[in-house]
Amino acid sequence: MVNSVNYPAWAEVDLETIVNNVKSIPKLVGQKPAILGVVKANAYGHGLLPCALAMLQGGVTYLGVAQVSEAIALRQAGITNKMAKILTWLYSSNAPFDRIINLDIEISVGSFWQLEKIVQTVKKLPSKTKAKIHLKMDIEFGRDGFNPEQYDNCFKTVLKHIAFLEVKGLWTHFAMADIPENIANKKHLQAYNLFVNKYIDYFGDSNLPLRHIANSAICLTRPELAFDMVRPGILAYGLKTIDSIDINKLGFVPAMSLMAYFSTIREYQDGQGVSYGHKYKPTKATKIGVVPLGYADGIRWTKNNYLKTYSFTRDDLINSVGAICMDQTLYDLGSNALEQPGDKVEFFGVGESLVNRQKLKMPSYLTNEAKNNFETKNIKRLTADDVANMVGTIGYDIVTSVGQRIPRIYKNKAILGSYEKLLK
């Protein structure tokens, strides 16, 4: 067994893959802007610190996290400002602003209460202290950010308190970046350009802050919008953001594989009920295999409770049956199954080549809704994106849902070089 913590499953994260994915970003945009490595949400479920260090090795100069707690955790782990600047963008009014500022963590500001709170905090700190902020604009997203009607008041307020503030960035986030042809993107870009021009009106253009608007989708579709810094998120982990773009051909590979062992394999007779509600009953004698992972571990529960999983024993996919449980998923293995307790399965991983994929046969008991959600491809090894298509969600959801109780096993740690010591 692989785990030292006696858990029957594990997520393998290949740090070299993350390094290589990050190094592929400049090839997309045709230039060399600064790169902010997004490690929010525990690095999309992959592990905050190891992935942050891998991204540093890949060439990022900024790390981005949504929550303040993760920004503080990175600093506490030993990532100094000399190693990487850190930007955080979600916090409440009771956030520890003094600690954030003292740790040299840069803060996104998209509302007037945030400006006021930060200024009042800096006034209580030693003289000459300044909060480093990134001003954010928003249009037709509904999240934090100054809208065009607020631009003048925003910059007047910043100018009034410039003794306590250092503007490091001007940024925004597109609601429709993964639908590049949508007219909302043009409106958003126009509003952002106005934001930058208004800043220049108030502060001049000699020390223009970093302009950054490019997430993974924009890196893929609008490289001319790379500006001064890009913020690739899901691409760094090797998953897609736009269905029509084959990122594997662009050099991006999934970094995480979720694996487990069979705990039980039992013989069943035809007509015997399987799992909660007996929603599945085999029509002939068979073997039912149990993998001790369920929806508490991030295995997606759906009304149809249908999932395909790769069995190493047979080098093929097996079908889940019956209701997926909190801690267990069951599979009909057939009467001649060779699987044994302790044999390994893979829920998702690096997948296979997209070449020569043909349709999989779907079980007859699936509803039409489930059939529409399942993208049929003749593949054995699934990516998180493949699983997402199967259950009607997105790859982001699959990887970020991998439970915290599942150990992360990190491969190729040596690629971190001198950064590896921070993992100890």
Please report which confidence band the pLDDT of residue 379 belongs to, taking 50, 70 and 90 as the band edges.
low
Q: With a threshold of 0.85, does the pTM exceed it?
A: yes
Residues 86 and 208 in one domain: yes
Q: Is residue 29 part of a domain?
A: yes
pLDDT at 302 over 90: no
Residues 137 and 192: beta-carbon distance below 8 Å: yes
Residues 185 and 121 in one domain: yes
Report, as an integer, the average pLDDT of 363-372: 46
pLDDT in tens, 225-279: 999 999 999 999 999 999 889 898 898 999 999 999 999 999 999 999 999 999 8
The CB density around residue 62, as the number of other CB atoms within 10 Å, is: 22
Q: Is residue 3 part of a domain?
A: no
pLDDT in tens, 310-333: 999 999 999 999 999 999 999 999
Residues 40 and 117 in one domain: yes
Active-site choice (27, 123, 156, 276): 276
Report, as an integer, the average pLDDT of 1-12: 72
The CB density around residue 217, as the number of other CB atoms within 10 Å, is: 23
pLDDT at 352 over 90: no
- Pick the last residue of a domain from 236, 269, 303: 236
Q: Is residue 53 part of a domain?
A: yes
pLDDT in tens, 71-122: 999 999 999 999 999 999 999 999 999 999 999 999 999 999 999 999 999 9
pLDDT at 222 over 50: yes
Residues 167 and 40 in one domain: yes
Q: Is residue 42 part of a domain?
A: yes
Residues 118 and 174 in one domain: yes
Q: Is residue 400 part of a domain?
A: no
DSSP category for residue 393: S
Domain CATH number, residue 137 = 3.20.20.10
- Pick the last residue of a domain from 382, 400, 417: 382
Report, as an integer, the average pLDDT of 381-403: 93
pLDDT at 378 over 70: no
The CB density around residue 170, as the number of other CB atoms within 10 Å, is: 23
Count up the domains in the chain and report the number. 2
Sign of the C-alpha dihedral computed for residues 142, 302, 367 and 310 taken in this order: positive
- Pick the last residue of a domain from 177, 208, 236: 236
pLDDT in tens, 17-48: 999 999 999 999 987 899 999 999 999 999 99
Q: Is residue 216 part of a domain?
A: yes
Distance CA 347, CA 329 (A): 11
Domain CATH number, residue 360 = 2.40.37.10
pLDDT at 2 over 60: no
The pLDDT value given to residue 243? 87
Active-site choice (40, 85, 168, 287): 40
The pLDDT value given to residue 5? 57
Residues 181 and 153 in one domain: yes
Residues 184 and 260 in one domain: no
| Contacts (Cβ under 8 Å, ≥6 apart) of 100 | 68, 71, 72, 88, 91, 107
Residues 183 and 74 in one domain: yes
Q: Report the mean per-residue pLDDT for the chain.
A: 91
pLDDT at 361 over 80: no
Active site residue 40: yes
Residues 307 and 375 in one domain: yes
The pLDDT value given to residue 416? 95
Residues 66 and 199 in one domain: yes
The pLDDT value given to residue 45? 97
Percent of the chain past pLDDT 70, that is, above it, reads 92
The pLDDT value given to residue 188? 94
Q: Which of 41, 52, 150 is nearest to 89 (CA)?
A: 41
Q: Which domain holds residue 343?
A: 256-382
pLDDT at 281 over 80: yes
The pLDDT value given to residue 140? 81
Report, as an integer, the average pLDDT of 280-298: 95
Residues 327 and 222 in one domain: no
Report, as an integer, the average pLDDT of 378-403: 90
Q: Is residue 270 part of a domain?
A: yes
Residues 204 and 298 in one domain: no
pLDDT in tens, 109-142: 999 999 999 999 999 999 999 999 999 999 988 7
Q: Which of 187, 166, 159 is nearest to 175 (CA)?
A: 187
The pLDDT value given to residue 309? 95
Q: Is residue 364 part of a domain?
A: yes
Residues 265 and 290: beta-carbon distance below 8 Å: yes
